[in-house]
Amino acid sequence: AQKVTQAQTEISVVEKEDVTLDCVYETRDTTYYLFWYKQPPSGELVFLIRRNSFDEQNEISGRYSWNFQKSTSSFNFTITASQVVDSAVYFCALSFTGGGNKLTFGTGTQLKVEL
Amino acid sequence: SQTIHQWPATLVQPVGSPLSLECTVEGTSNPNLYWYRQAAGRGLQLLFYSVGIGQISSEVPQNLSASRPQDRQFILSSKKLLLSDSGFYLCAWSNGRVGGYTFGSGTRLTVV
């Protein structure tokens, strides 16, 4: 069975602080994909990143960076110099080949960035 | 380009009334289609998925059903709504290869 755990329910930071959102996953598949989505108050899901299980290179995109470590089954997300516009719920998700390519989500982390 | 349409955006329905939410995809053929629900303050739960016309897989036994009458149309229904059916419903599609999921803008359902 697939499982994604986001232990941090809510995080509050002051603007310009760095913040890391944790994601731990469980799967028995050797080929799988990991995702991060942002959900602003409007409710829409905004795709941030996809990473496959064979690519452990860390990725940086502007103020966003992702640290994928298969040894600890983690796919953590760091926002550098956070801004108020980063306030949202962030979801980590896992998918695998077969079975309709279903996407399994974590419970999400509510990030609040205050002035 | 591919687009996904989901409506209505907001819906308030009395307990015991029927429900029909519609999702359509444009610009692609034979997509995988999904219905997710997000209860207040919670994560996203997969309700149904479909890999083809008339093929529906249910993930969680509940008061809802889904149908796929056409290749790019996915409908979520209920004969009698319960209070616990309230939530934010999201439709999504993928191209059948893992990695590309597009979500609709969601329907916020309140059962009163």
B30-64 pLDDT per residue, tens: 999 999 999 877 789 999 999 999 999 998 868 89
Q: Which of B32, B36, B106 is the closest to A101 by Cβ?
A: B32
pLDDT band at B99 (very low <50, low <70, confident <90, very high): low
Cis, bond preceding B8 (omega within 30 deg of 0): yes
Residue A82: pLDDT over 90: yes
Chain B: give the shortest CA distance to residue A44, in Å: 5
Q: Which residues pair with B35 in a beta bridge?
A: B48, B91
A interface test, pick of B3, B50, B101 with most A CB neighbours within 10 Å: B101
Residue B98: pLDDT over 60: no
Q: Given the DSSP bridges, would you call strands B10-13 and B107-111 parallel, antiparallel or unpaired?
A: parallel
Q: Which amino acid is at B86?
A: S
What is the CB neighbour count within 10 angstroms for residue A28? 8
| Residues 6 or more apart whose Cβ sits within 8 Å of residue B111 | B12, B13, B14, B15, B81, B82, B83, B84, B85, B86
The overall average pLDDT reported for chain B is: 91
